[in-house]
Amino acid sequence: MYKYHFRPEYGSEKLLIEIFNGLEKKEFLSDFLDAIKILKPKVVDFEDLWINDEISINVNSEMGEFILSKDTWGFVFLTSENNQECLFQINSILEIAENFEKVEIDFEDYKLK
C-alpha cells in the first residue's frame, strides 16, 4: 500500500502530492500510472539528476502536465507549476485507488513561521 499526503508546499499556497510509503517497490511507477490511467498519462521525458540523487519525470495527461520527482530520501513528489487542477484530479483518483491511502495532515504545519 502506498501512502500519500495532499498538502501545500512549504510556505506556499501551491499544493503537491507527497508519496512516502511503499516506494521501495520497483513497480511503483507502473502502479501509479495504472492508478491514474483514466487521465491517459504519457511520460514525456526522464531526467536522472545524479548531482542531487534525484529523478524527475515529466508527464503529460488529459488534465495537463505534471512532474513526478523522487528525492534522495526516497519520497516522491507530484507537482504542477501552473495546473493545480491536475493535482486535485490526481488526488481524487488516488483517494479511491486500491493501492493508495491518503493520510490527512494539518495545512498549518506547512506554513512558514
* pLDDT tens-place string over residues 83-112: 999 999 999 999 999 999 999 999 888 888
- Average pLDDT of the chain? 92
Give the predicted TM-score (pTM) of the model. 0.89
Q: In a 3-state reduction of DSSP, which class is residue 70?
A: strand
Tens digits of residue pLDDT in 5-56? 999 998 888 999 999 999 888 899 999 999 999 999 999 998 876 666 788 9
Q: What is the pLDDT of residue 11?
A: 86
Q: Which domains are delineated in the chain?
A: 2-8+15-106 (3.30.160)
CB 92 within 8 A of CB 4: no
Contacts of 37-41 spanning 24+ positions with Cβ under 8 A: 38/93, 39/63, 39/89, 39/90, 39/93
